[in-house]
Amino acid sequence: MDFAFLAAGIGAGLTVIGGAFGIGKLAASAMDASGRQPEALGDIRTSMIIAAALIEGISLFALVICILLALK
């Protein structure tokens, strides 16, 4: 019974849920903050992109493991 493909699929799906939830929350706070203080929009945008890239890095670690599973 070969569960590798199933595991890879479920793993990738769970990773996407976690990553999308985190980045969604981040974007929501960034929108709130820039609404309160429109002059800080540039700084907020830069910090938002940095944090989004870091969160995406984590979800891509899991993606690499899923790809390894699917290719075994």
Partner 1 sequence: MDISTAKTIQDTLHQAKEGVGSDWIMHHILDSHELEIAPFGSIHLPHLSLFGLDVSITKNVVFLWIVAILLIVAFKIAANAYKKSLVPHGFANFMEVLIVFVRDDIAIPSIGKGYEKFLPYLLTVFFFILFSNFIGLIPNGTTITSNLAVTSTLAVFSFIVIQAGGMIKNGVFGYFKGLLPSGVPAWLLPVMLIVELLGLFTKPFALAVRLFANMTAGHIVIFSLIGLIFFMQTYFVAPVSVAFALFIYLLEILVALIQAYIFTMLSALFIGMAVHQEH
Q: Which residues bind partner 1 (CB under 8 A)?
A: 46, 49-50, 53-54, 56-57, 60-61, 63-64, 67, 70-71
- Distance from C-alpha of 10 to C-alpha of 55, rounded to nearest angstrom: 19
Provide the CA 8 distance to its chain's centre, in angstroms. Answer: 17
Q: Which is nearer to partner 1, 2 or 36 (CB)?
A: 2
Q: Which is nearer to partner 1, 35 or 64 (CB)?
A: 64
Q: Which is nearer to partner 1, 33 or 51 (CB)?
A: 51
| DSSP state at residue 59 | H
